[in-house]
Structure 1
C-alpha cells in the first residue's frame, strides 16, 4: 500500500522527517531548476529511486493538481486515532491542541495544519465523519506541516 504526495515543500518535509517512507519519485522531464535540484540531490543521497516523467503522467498521478514537477510514491504514515490522545496529553506539560469541526475542504484542512504548525500546536483533532481527509491535496497545502503535527 502506498500514497502519493506532490509539491516541493511536501516532498522536502517528508524527506527531512521520514526518508524511509519513500518508494520512488517522479520528476518532470526537463524540470531541473535551482528550486528542484537540491531536493533531487538530497533524495538521491538517501537512495531514493528517481524517474523522469512527462507532464501528462504527473498530471494524471496528481489528479490535475499543481505538483510543481515532483510527485513521490511513499509508504503511508502513521494515522493517529482518538485512543492515542490520552498518551499524547499525558506526555505534554501544557498541551496545545487545535480541534476542528466542519472543515470539509482539503485545502482548508491543509491551511489549518500549516497555521497550527507555525503556532506550535501539539496535535490537530479532526472528526472522522463529515470532515476533509488528510489526502495529497491537504498535505500539499500544508507545506510539510502534515508530517510534523499529529
Structure 2
C-alpha cells in the first residue's frame, strides 16, 4: 500500500530515520532553495529517490489544501493488523516497557502531537481504542513530523481488556486525573509503566480510572483548569524519564 506525507519537517525526519519508505518525492517548482530544501535534495540523491517538480495546485489537491510547504512524499505503507498477542510480543522485547495509552483523543492534531512527544520520550508502544480515536491519516502524520512511522501504534477493541493484559505482565497502570490530589512530582514512578492520557476537557473515562493502579495530576495555577493533552503528555513522560535517569 501507499500513503502520503507532506511538510518539510515530516519529510526530513522520515528521510533521516527511514528513507527506504519513500517511493517518490514531489517538490514545488521554483521552490526557494533553503538549507532544509538542500538537505532534502542531499538525501534524495543519497538514497536515489525519484523526485518531480509540480505546481502548487497539484500539491493543494493532493493534500486537500493542507499546509504542505511545497513538498510531498509518496511512501510505502504496510497495513498491519495488530491484536492483543502483538502487544505482548512487542513489550517482551524491552526489559522495562514504557507505554502510552490514549483514551478518547479524537482530534488528529492532538493525536499527532502526542505521537511526536512519545517518540521524543522513547515510548515503546502507543495503544488506543478503535472506537474513540482518529485514524492514522496524513494530518496526524504531518503533525507528528513523520514520527508515526517510528514506533508501533496499536488500535484495540477494548482498553480495559488491554489494561488487564498489561497488569498480568507486571506493568503498572497510571492514569492522569486533574482532580487527583497525588501530584506526579511527588511520586516515585518505576518502569515498566503504562501512562494513560485522556481528552483535554473530560480526561480519561471513569471506567478507565477505576482500573488504574494510581491516578496522578499536574499542579496548575492562575485558574487554568487544563492543558493541551500533548503538553500534559510531555510533562508526564519526561518527569518519568527524569526520575528514571537521575533519581536511581
TM over 0.5: yes
1:76 aligned to 2:77?
Answer: yes
- Checking the alignment, whether the CA contact within 8 Å between 1:106 and 1:137 is kept in structure 2 is yes
Q: Any unmatched runs of 5+ in structure 1? A: none
User: Deviation per CA, 1:17-61, whole angstroms, max 9, x where unpaired?
Assistant: 322221111001111222212112211221111100111111111
Distance in 2, Cα, partners of 1:8 & 1:41: 14
- Checking the alignment, whether the CA contact within 8 Å between 2:14 and 2:147 is kept in structure 1 is no
- Checking the alignment, whether the CA contact within 8 Å between 1:27 and 1:70 is kept in structure 2 is yes
- The corresponding residue for 1:55 is 56
1:119 aligned to 2:121?
Answer: yes
- Checking the alignment, whether the CA contact within 8 Å between 1:12 and 1:39 is kept in structure 2 is yes
Distance in 2, Cα, partners of 1:78 & 1:148: 15
> TM-score, normalized by length of structure 2?
0.57
> TM-score, normalized by length of structure 1?
0.92
1:36 aligned to 2:54?
Answer: no
- The corresponding residue for 1:90 is 92
User: Deviation per CA, 1:107-129, whole angstroms, max 9, x where unpaired?
Assistant: 11101101111222111111122
SS at match of 1:126: strand
CA distance 1:91–1:80, shift in 2 (3 Å): farther
Distance in 2, Cα, partners of 1:57 & 1:42: 23
SS at match of 1:99: strand
- The corresponding residue for 2:201 is none
Aligned residue pair count? 150
Q: Any unmatched runs of 5+ in structure 2? A: 153-248
RCO higher in structure (CA 8 A, sep ≥6): 1
Distance in 2, Cα, partners of 1:48 & 1:145: 20
